[in-house]
């Protein structure tokens, strides 16, 4: 008897247009998201070849990386940002692509807006010229980042040659302890498998702790699949997924809804399917996580101390750790809880959804940020997240605590706009990459959950949010 199929193989196989007989196949691509950084050359390519876009209805464009987070009525001052923003607006107009411009309430980070609009749906293939497209896998969507020439290919043909990935499963068993979030789970997984652990694979996240996550939490988890080296992340769709999608602008309507849900219910890994790599973690063992180095795998629980490179036997890894510590300005053996911060960033496609803002606001309610914090900012993932947060009064909690409340976009996640951490500045950030210079030249980034970022803002250093919350606000 033939072994069953994984969720990944089911979606891949259902999209084969032409089997090339080898390691790859030509797949049909159901949806494409477009942003201003990786699309200009693709549009230019179409223009030069005299081609139109194959399916404008399956394409959604967004301005996110370069937009300022200050009031939108003011002009963009950075010439490069201005050029990219204007190019996408002109291209969208010329090719008839739907675009949410800077004044549109639906504007935001592509990976927040796609799901929010119901554009992201189970069982579809979805691409974007952006590595964190893996986020959409939270819906059981086969979603992955592609290069600019591939963006052009999808625009022209709605197909793409895709190599079949290996199947990897990460199971998180048991219940997540109180105060532990999807971000801690994501970081703990990367700490365990490493940034190359998922190379050549698509990771399916499974187990009770994953099933219990909200869609926001599943998106955080899949968002960081790429930081484990994987091509994409997946969570099999279930009632939580259907409930989230129902009624959103692009969601199937009327009788089509039931047909869609019937299909979505077939999207799971068969019991007897086999995985190339199968890893299990215990939820009960996950503590709040903080990164100490310049790779997301350089991560430890808040109770730990900064590692000593001398204890690492692999010479290349030892040298890398020394370099990281030097860049980060940390000494081996220091308690992570003794590391002070001067910047706090709550935002990005990892953690700028309503649930993330609620989690941070819960910590900040009735408290104020420490005097050594030079800048603390909240950048909602979209205009709709911003409006929802304002309707709940979260903006006031942030502002009263000493945070700046900004307009949506990628912002300080990578500093393509004016939001940067200065050289030697140290930032508790809810984003997904702590690379050298990621938040600005010489900037030091520590990746944490929204609750841990808020706790760091209050304490002026990293601290276990569970201990902070056990005390009354001063
Ligand atoms: C600018 C874009 C191509 C890039 C990516 O692909 O991820 C960015 O979003 C990032 O997070 O580094
Ligand atoms: S928020 Fe950060 S990680 Fe996400 S798309 Fe923007 S720059 Fe990339």
Backbone angles phi, psi at 229, to 5 degrees: 85, 0
Ligand 2 atom with the smallest distance to the CA of 352 is 1
Ligand 2 atom with the smallest distance to the CA of 110 is 5
Which residues neighbour 450 within 8 Å (Cβ) at sequence distance 6 or greater? 181, 183, 346, 351, 356, 357, 359, 360, 430
Q: Is 409 in the pocket of ligand 1 (CB under 6 A)?
A: no
The span from the CA of 455 to the CA of 68, in Å, is 26
The span from the CA of 446 to the CA of 293, in Å, is 8
Q: Confirm if 345 and 411 have CB atoms less than 8 A apart.
A: yes
What's the gap in Å between 19 CA and the centre of ligand 1? 30
Residue nearest to atom 2 of ligand 1 (CA): 130
What's the gap in Å between 109 CA and the centre of ligand 2? 7
Q: Is 68 in the pocket of ligand 1 (CB under 6 A)?
A: no
Averages of pLDDT over each 10 residues, the chain, 474 residues: 90 96 94 98 98 98 97 91 97 98 96 98 98 98 98 98 98 97 98 97 98 98 98 98 98 97 98 98 98 98 97 93 98 98 98 98 98 98 98 98 98 95 98 98 98 98 97 86
DSSP 290-353: EE-SSSTT-EEETTSB---GGG--SHHHHHHHHHHHHHHT--TT-BGGG-B-SEEEE-TTTS-S
Ligand 2 atom with the smallest distance to the CA of 347 is 1
What's the gap in Å between 64 CA and the centre of ligand 2? 8
What's the gap in Å between 38 CA and the centre of ligand 1? 9
Q: Confirm if 380 and 108 have CB atoms less than 8 A apart.
A: yes
3-state secondary structure of 382: strand
Pocket probe mutation, ligand 2, options 39, 69, 183, 348, max atoms within 8 Å of Cβ: 348
The half-sphere exposure of 307 on its side-chain side, counting CA atoms within 13 A, is 22
The span from the CA of 248 to the CA of 296, in Å, is 33
Q: Is 132 in the pocket of ligand 1 (CB under 6 A)?
A: yes
Q: Is 414 in the pocket of ligand 1 (CB under 6 A)?
A: yes
pTM: 0.98
The half-sphere exposure of 183 on its side-chain side, counting CA atoms within 13 A, is 31
Phi-psi region of 103 (alpha: psi -120 to 50; beta: other; left: phi over 0): alpha
DSSP 246-259: TTSTTS--THHHHH
ipTM of the complex: 0.99
What's the gap in Å between 63 CA and the centre of ligand 1? 13
Backbone angles phi, psi at 123, to 5 degrees: 75, -5
Ligand 2 atom with the smallest distance to the CA of 416 is 7
Distance between first and last Cα of the chain: 66
Structure tokens at 457: 């803002």
Tell the residue number behind the tokens 């769709």, with chain if given.
Answer: 237
Nearest ligand for residue 144 CA: 1
What's the gap in Å between 243 CA and the centre of ligand 1? 30
Mark the binding-site residues, compressed into ranges.
Answer: 349, 410, 413
What's the gap in Å between 108 CA and the centre of ligand 1? 15
What are the percentages of helix, strand and coil residues in the chain, rounded to 5?
40, 20, 45
Output DSSP code: residue 229: T
Alpha helices (H) along 194-299: 208-211, 215-223, 239-245, 255-264
Q: Is 224 in the pocket of ligand 1 (CB under 6 A)?
A: no
Please report the pLDDT score of residue 21 as a whole number: 84
Largest CA distance in the chain: 67
DSSP 17-55: EEE-SSSEEEEE--EEEEETTTSHHHHHHHHHHT---S-
Pocket probe mutation, ligand 1, options 34, 35, 37, 227, max atoms within 8 Å of Cβ: 37
Residue nearest to atom 6 of ligand 2 (CA): 410
Contact residues of ligand 2, CB 6 A cut-off = 64-65, 109, 111, 130, 132, 348-349, 410, 413-414, 431-432
Structure tokens at 263: 């299909």
Cα–Cα distances (Å) from 251 to 234, 260, 369, in that order, read: 20, 9, 41
Give me Rg for the CA atoms of the chain. Answer: 22
What's the gap in Å between 224 CA and the centre of ligand 2? 11
Please report the pLDDT score of residue 1 as a whole number: 59
Backbone angles phi, psi at 27, to 5 degrees: -105, 150
Ligand 2 atom with the smallest distance to the CA of 130 is 5
Q: Confirm if 384 and 108 have CB atoms less than 8 A apart.
A: yes
Pairing mode, if any, of strands 98-100 and 59-62?
A: parallel
The H or E element spanning position 187 is helix 182-193
Nearest ligand for residue 111 CA: 2
């Amino acid at each position: 008897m033939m072994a069953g199929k994984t969720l990944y193989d089911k979606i891949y196989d259902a999209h084969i247009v032409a089997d090339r007989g080898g390691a790859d196949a030509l797949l049909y691509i159901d949806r494409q998201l477009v942003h201003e950084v990786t699309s200009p050359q693709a549009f230019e390519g179409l223009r030069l070849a005299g081609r139109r876009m194959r399916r404008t209805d399956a394409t959604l464009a967004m301005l996110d990386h370069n937009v300022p987070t200050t009031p939108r009525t003011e002009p963009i001052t950075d010439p490069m940002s201005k050029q990219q923003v204007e190019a996408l607006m002109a291209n969208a107009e010329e090719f008839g692509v739907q675009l949410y411009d800077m004044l549109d309430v639906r504007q935001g980070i592509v990976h927040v807006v796609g799901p929010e609009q119901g554009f992201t749906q189970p069982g579809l293939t979805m691409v974007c010229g952006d590595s964190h497209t893996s986020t959409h896998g939270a819906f059981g969507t086969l979603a992955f980042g592609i290069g600019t020439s591939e963006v052009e290919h999808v625009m022209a043909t709605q197909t793409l040659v895709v190599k079949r990935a290996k199947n990897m499963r990460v199971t998180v068993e048991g219940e997540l302890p109180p105060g532990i979030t999807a971000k801690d789970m994501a970081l703990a997984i990367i700490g365990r498998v490493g940034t190359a652990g998922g190379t050549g694979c698509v990771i399916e996240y499974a187990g009770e702790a994953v099933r219990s996550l909200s869609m926001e939490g599943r998106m955080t988890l899949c968002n960081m699949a790429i930081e484990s080296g994987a091509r994409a992340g997946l969570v099999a769709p279930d009632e939580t997924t259907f409930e989230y999608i129902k009624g959103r602008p692009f969601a199937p309507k009327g009788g089509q809804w039931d047909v869609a849900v019937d299909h979505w219910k077939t999207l799971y890994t068969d019991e007897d399917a086999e995985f190339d790599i199968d890893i299990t973690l215990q939820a009960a063992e996950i503590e709040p996580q903080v990164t100490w180095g310049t790779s997301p795998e350089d991560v430890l629980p808040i109770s730990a101390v900064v590692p000593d490179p001398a204890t690492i036997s692999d010479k290349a890894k030892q040298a890398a750790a020394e370099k990281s510590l030097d860049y980060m300005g940390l000494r081996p053996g220091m308690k992570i809880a003794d590391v002070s911060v001067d910047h706090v960033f709550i935002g990005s496609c990892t953690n700028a959804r309503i649930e993330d803002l609620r989690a941070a606001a819960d910590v900040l309610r009735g408290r104020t940020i420490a005097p050594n914090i030079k800048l603390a900012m909240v950048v909602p993932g979209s205009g709709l997240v911003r409006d929802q947060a304002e309707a709940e009064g979260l903006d006031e909690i942030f502002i009263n605590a000493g945070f700046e409340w900004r307009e949506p976009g990628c912002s300080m996640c990578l500093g393509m706009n004016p939001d940067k951490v200065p050289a030697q500045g140290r930032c508790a950030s809810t984003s997904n990459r702590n690379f050298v210079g990621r938040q600005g030249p010489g900037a030091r980034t520590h990746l944490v959950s929204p609750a841990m970022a808020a706790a760091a803002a209050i304490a002026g250093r990293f601290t276990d949010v569970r201990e902070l919350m056990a005390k009354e606000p001063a």
